[in-house]
Amino acid sequence: MSSFAGLAEFDNFNNSPERATFPMIANRCDLPALEGKAPMTVGDANPAVRDEESMGVVASAYEPLEPVFDRFKAPVAGKYRLRISAYSFWAGPESERRWWRPSRNEISVGRTHEPVTLYAQSPPRTLRRLDAFDVVPESGAKDAHVHEVDVWLRKGETIRPDAARLFRSRPPAWRNPLAKPDGQPGVAFRWLEVEGPIMETWPTPGHRLMFGDLPVRTADGGGVLVEARDPDTDSAHLIRSFLGSFRIRSKAIGISLSSFVTEIYLRFEEVEKI
């Protein structure tokens, strides 16, 4: 959760709590982490506490508050299963005089249901909407609500959550319209789990079309390696099978087999000239 943790620290560009993340343990402030006296996570040293850790926001995703689960990037395009744990919380006021500013120290159980939108993000900042769901107040990890969804991701995409109802701050002066004298709503993100890429069948239809029933193994350095039993015989059989399949499909789209073969030949000629 490095993107979330980095946004917890104030800098010359931002010293406003509305535009920062809130280090939390369940429904209370993780004060040592907030003050920089302890790491943002206890890690494997204390699994019980680790399960309660989260990062909260009182504003939706907008510069400079754009948290991303950037430790995950889809290694290949495909279907993935996302499981995300998040909940709503309540941030008390900074002071009685400046009640519209949230306190990152005074945190309590949430009072609202909040909508969250999930996006796939790729550089530099291209977003694709994946899903939306509501989060609710929780008493702790034992009461956790987990949202699960299957999505299609492109290679290199990561996951960006957005607490969509929360306000977007605009400098130099702003006030959260959702703030009340006794505080304002927020959303805390506990963790994201990703499973995938998920193959409905293996080998895939495309793999079977290209390689038939030839055995496959993992290649050194990643990827797959197709092992031919008899290269000459197997290659001839695969070519005949592939072209036969193409002949059946080409009738529906009006492409002749001769045109297809000619196009392949011309492309090979172009490659040989390089």
What angle do helix axes 257-273 and 231-253 make, rounded to 10 degrees? 120
Q: What's the chain's average pLDDT? A: 85
Question: How far is CA 135 from each of CA 43, 194, 245, rounded to the nearest angstrom?
Answer: 25, 19, 49
pLDDT for 227-268, tens place per residue? 777 777 777 777 777 666 655 555 555 555 556 555 555 554
pTM of the entire predicted model:
0.77
**Distance between CA atoms of 242 and 152, rounded to whole angstroms?**
27
Q: For each of the domains in the chain, give its residue range(s) and CATH number, in order of start.
A: 2-195 (2.60.120), 205-273 (no CATH)
C-alpha dihedral sign at 209, 214, 220, 222: positive
Q: Which amino acid is at 172?
A: P
**Distance between CA atoms of 22 and 170, rounded to whole angstroms?**
19
pLDDT for 153-197, tens place per residue? 999 999 999 999 999 877 666 789 999 999 999 999 999 999 999
DSSP category for residue 100: T
